[in-house]
């Protein structure tokens, strides 16, 4: 299954290359469904430590503990919020795993 950037029909390779750290920081800050979808898409190209390091390049805007808290709370985001971005139940389960 292909995971796509939220709000897009096809992954934007340039956006993924330029902004994975920004996407990880957004997930840590806001924890929205679209943030989780974007980071999940970035995982196709980057390892978890690489994503954390990219986010940490702006330490004034990134807290690793907050990110971990957000990741643990993904189960509390309703399926409907993920479905609004075109995800199916299998994709949602994969993202939460």
Q: pLDDT digit string (tens) for 64-92?
A: 899 999 999 999 999 999 999 999 999 99
Mean pLDDT of 13-32: 81
Return the structure tokens found at 84: 């609004």
Q: Please tell me the predicted confidence (pLDDT) of residue 3.
A: 52
5 located within any domain: no
- CA dist., res. 94 & res. 38, Å (int): 14
Residue span of the structural domain in which 48 resides: 13-96
Distances (CA, A) of 63 to 6, 57, 75: 23, 11, 20
What's the pLDDT tens digit per position in 24-45?
A: 999 999 999 999 999 999 999 9
How many domains does the chain divide into?
1
Distances (CA, A) of 14 to 21, 37, 40, 64: 13, 17, 16, 25
67 located within any domain: yes
Higher-confidence position of 43 and 18: 43
Return the structure tokens found at 68: 């971990």
1 located within any domain: no
- CA dist., res. 39 & res. 20, Å (int): 7
90 located within any domain: yes
Distances (CA, A) of 92 to 11, 19, 62, 97: 17, 23, 25, 9
Q: Please tell me the predicted confidence (pLDDT) of residue 85.
A: 95
7 located within any domain: no
């Amino acid at each position: 299954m292909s995971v796509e950037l939220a709000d897009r029909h096809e992954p934007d390779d340039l956006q993924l290359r330029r902004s994975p750290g920004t996407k990880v920081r957004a997930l840590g800050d806001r924890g929205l469904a679209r943030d989780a979808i974007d980071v999940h898409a970035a995982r196709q190209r980057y390892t978890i430590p690489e994503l954390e390091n990219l986010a940490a390049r702006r330490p004034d805007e990134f807290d690793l503990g907050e990110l971990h808290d957000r990741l643990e709370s993904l189960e509390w985001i309703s399926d409907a919020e993920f479905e609004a971005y075109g995800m199916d139940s299998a994709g949602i389960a994969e993202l939460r795993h």
